[in-house]
Each structure stands twice: as structure tokens, then as C-alpha cells.
Chain A
Amino acid sequence: MNALLILVPITLVLAGIAVGLFFWAVNHAQFEDLDTPKILPLLDAAPPRHGNDDAPR
């Protein structure tokens, strides 16, 4: 039964990490645009480039 003292905190920590990841994703604009990413599977080679994506290429 002591396992619960470990399992429940582990689960809460992991749930916290998941929430953190969710906010990371939101803050990094992963879910800003919920329309155009859906065409990614239909493109085999050249995905669309976003205006705010200034990564060196």
C-alpha cells in the first residue's frame, strides 16, 4: 500500500510536467494556427513557411 505514497506523487509530478509541456507548446505558438498544419500530411516535400519563422535555412 505504501506504493501509493510513491505512485500518487509520481503521477502528480508527471501531470505537472504535462501541464508544463502544454504551456510550453502554447507559448511557443504551436497552437496559434489551428488550420494550416492540417495540410502537412498532404505535402511530401515542402511544408508551408510561416511569416514569423525566421530560422536560418
Chain B
Amino acid sequence: MAVAAQSLSSVPPSRAATGSPEEDRELSRIFTAYTISATFWLLFGTAVGLLLAFKFGAPDFWAAKYLTFGRLRPIHTNDVFYGFASIALVGCAYYVTVRSCGTRLYSATLARIGLWLFNIAAVAGTIALDLGYNWGDLEYREWPWPIRLVFFAALVVTVWNLLATIARRASKDIYLSNWYIIGGFLWTCVICLVAILPWYQKGLGQVAISGYFMHNAVGMWFTPLALGLFYYAIPKVLNRPIYSYALGVLAFWTNLIFYPMLGGHHFLFSPLPWWLQTTAIICSVGMLVPVLGGSANYLLTMRGRYHGRIESYPLAFLFIGVLGYLIGSTQGTVEALRSLQAAWHFTSFTVGHSHLTMYGFVTFAVWGGIYALLPLATGKNPGRFGVALHFWLALVGVSIYVISLSIGGTVQGLDWIRGKPFIQSVIDMEPYYLWRGVGGILMFLSHIVFAWNVWRMTKGQPGNAPSPIMEPEGEAAA
């Protein structure tokens, strides 16, 4: 089959076909375009998020119709999801797939069409939400369905392009990163369709579909794309192969088995059947297998290279991303247990959890991937100071954010269990809301620095940061 696919592709693969200088430049231009788009959405989406953070402490601040919490909150979540994280990960996926297959991109035109579709969906979705057109409070699918259809079209165009690229790979084996990338794309196509089809979108059926879509959109889209990026970027930066390819294969397939059924854990104690809730909990516990296996694999690959001082900032971003994956996903398993969910669900603890995973894991993975790979594509390094500043602002910011919401969310949940008046839980949350805003400011500042770094890696004057590829087994290995 693999052989057949190779001979079927229009241009037979050969070593000579691997990236002529012009094709390398084309790939670099596509990677650059996706990264710049994603950076814009990061700045926009998190500026909205920062405003929202302060609305908890000062609800009357900027409370005009178009700036109300109810309209801005889904704008923040959808734009960082479908604008920033999706576009950034797809840009990285193009680079990783082409390079790890040792071949050329199937179609640069399709890649550009995909980028336009992603952006059109995000712009239209933002405008629609702000004008009050939405699909109710269904998490991560607040955009009206025609707009989500545009996003679906972008997925189809991209996965077509990536599959055709993989079909012309130069080696027989499909590298692990591509399994993750393609698995994520195909699964997300399925859930996007299920989430758009109108039947059963009422009552409890809507709840079941919401659980199905909302958590799969996180864990079968962002997670596999970020893990696929890890499997390429971490070995690349370290100039050292992944610790265990076999462990990666195990983690991939167990992820595929356990993840799709765990979305129901957001509806424990709801009228959904008890057996479905229990299945979701069992699958949540099963996720420990790929999470611990995958994290161990990444950390063992980095062995000897993360002690004492930071040798490489791209590696530091990837390292924090791995820790975010490990801690955030394990926390997710624990939160799915009934006794703990009774205290934590619907509190700010869950908001802390989602930022630990989407920011501590996915966003740090994206940044690590961009700092590791974009300079290789464009030949331009960012400035050493800019990357360090970005790293520390983002790390300190997200730590303050997650820790304050985790403590505050626990207090909030205990207040509710004790049956205190609701307003008491609001009063108790006040200092934690303030700290969240402080963390948010640092995070947003780090995004401005990131934008500056992206500029230097693409269009602007390159900086003085060293090559992202580390010297193999430097003095740290001794």
C-alpha cells in the first residue's frame, strides 16, 4: 500500500526531489504566513481575555453592549482556539510533515487556501459573536454553524494536502509526528461534522453532543498536533533521537482508544445515564497510559540537558510544554473522579485547569516549536534577550494565573458545598481574581515580546540568539 501510494503520486519521490532551494523558500513562506496570522490572533484573543479578567473584579468597567462579558468571553475562547492555536499548530504541522517525510509539499496553493479559510472563519466568528449572533452557550461552538463549516472546510483542505505530502514520502516508515498530525485532523473532521449536524441538538441529546465535541476538540485536536510537534522539535533541538519510538507508538494508539469517550466527564451527576458517566471516568483514568508514557519519553529524550541552567530557550519552552502536558493531563484525570469533581467542577479551578493545559502545554509547545523550527525555515534567529524575556514573563504569568485560580476555585467549591450564600463565594474569590489579572498582564506582555521575536525571525532584522539546534552532548552530558 505504501509502495502503491508512492508510485501513484504524481511525482515519484526521490532524494533529488527533496526541497530544491525554491521549494524550501516556498515552505518557509507558508510557515511564516501561518505564524504571523497566529500571532495576530494571539494578541487579539488574549487582549480580550485580559479585559475579561478585570471584569471579574470590576464588572462595570467598559460594560457597553458590545463589550459585555457574555459576548467577549466566547470571542476570547474561540479566537485563541481556532485563530491562534489552530493556525499556529497547522503552520508547524506543514513544516514537520514535509521535513520528516523528506519530501516536498504537495500543494502550496492548498496551504494558502487553508490559511484564508481559517482566518475567514475566525474573523466572521468574532464579528458574529460581538453582534450577538451565536449558537447559544455550547462551549467552543458558539460560532453560527455556517462559520464552523468554513473552519471544517479549512480542515479538509489541510488534511488533503498533508496526506498527499505523506504519500510521497521518501522513507518507508511514516514518522510518529505524522501519525499524530493525521490522527488529530481526521478525528477533528468527524467531531466537527457531528457538532454541526442539526438532529438531536436539543435537550439532553445536545448535552451529550456538547460533551462529545467540547472535550474532543481539545484533546483530539490540540493535543495530537502539539505532541506531533514535540516528536519532531525535541529531537531536532537536542540533535538526538527520541528516547523510545516504540513508547511513542504505544502512546499514540492508547490516546486514540481512550480519548474519544471521556467528554462525558463534564456531565457527572447530570441526567445523562450513569453508565455513560462511569465510562467517561474509566477512559479519563485510562488516559494516564499515554500521558505518562508520552511525558516520560520526552523527558528521557531531554535527559541530562535540563539541569542547572538553561542551555537553550527553544528547549526550555518545549520542556515547560511537556511539564504542562504531564501536570495538566494528570490533573484532568483526577478532576474526573466523582468525589473531587463534586467540589471543583463549575468553579474557577476548571478555568485554571484549562489554562494549564491550553497555555502551559499547548501554547508553550507552539512557542517551543516556532523558536525551534522557524529559524531553520527562514534562516533568521530572534534576539537572545527577547526570547528570554518572553519565556520568563509567560512562565511567571501563567504560574500566578493557574495557582491563584486553583486555590480560589477550591475555596469557591467548598463555599458552595457548605451551602453559604452565593455572594460569599464571590467575596472570597476577590483576591484570587485580582491575582489572575496580574498573571494575565504578564502573559499578555509576553505575547507582545513574542510578536517582536516573530518579526525578527521572519521579516525584520535577525537577532543574536544562537541556532536552535544544540551541540550534541555538550558539557552538560559529562
Contacts and interface: CB of A to CB of B under 8 A. Distances in A.
Interface stretch (B139-147, B168-176, B343-351, B438-446): B168-176
Interface residues of A, number: 41
Interface string B204-217: 11101100100000
Interface string B1-43: 1110011000011110011000000000000000000000000
A44 B98 CA distance: 10
B58 interface: no
A44 B203 contact: no
Contact of A11 (B239, B261, B273): B261
B245 A37 contact: yes
Contacts of A40: 100, 102, 171, 173, 175
Nearest to B260: A11
A30 B1 CA distance: 11
B235 interface: yes
B193 to A, nearest CB: 10
Given A14-B190, A57-B12, A29 B102 contact: no
A40 B261 CA distance: 33
A46 B242 contact: no
Interface string A12-45: 0011001000101000111101111111111111
B241 interface: yes
Grouping DSSP codes into helix (H, G, I), strand (E, B) and loop, the B interface class, with mixed when no group exceeds half, is helix
B476 interface: no
A27 to B, nearest CB: 9
A14 B220 CA distance: 13
Contact of B241 (A6, A24, A38, A48): A38
Interface of A: 1-4, 6-7, 10-11, 14-15, 18, 22, 24, 28-31, 33-50, 52-57
10 contacts: A3-B200, A29-B172, A31-B249, A34-B246, A38-B241, A40-B171, A41-B241, A42-B241, A46-B102, A52-B172
The 10 closest A-B pairs by CB, nearest first: A3-B205, A47-B171, A3-B200, A38-B241, A37-B173, A34-B246, A47-B102, A38-B245, A40-B175, A53-B172
Given A1-B203, A1-B204, A7-B212, 16 more contacts: A1-B205, A6-B200, A7-B194, A15-B257, A30-B2, A33-B173, A39-B241, A41-B100, A41-B242, A42-B239, A44-B19, A48-B171, A49-B171, A50-B173, A53-B172, A57-B14
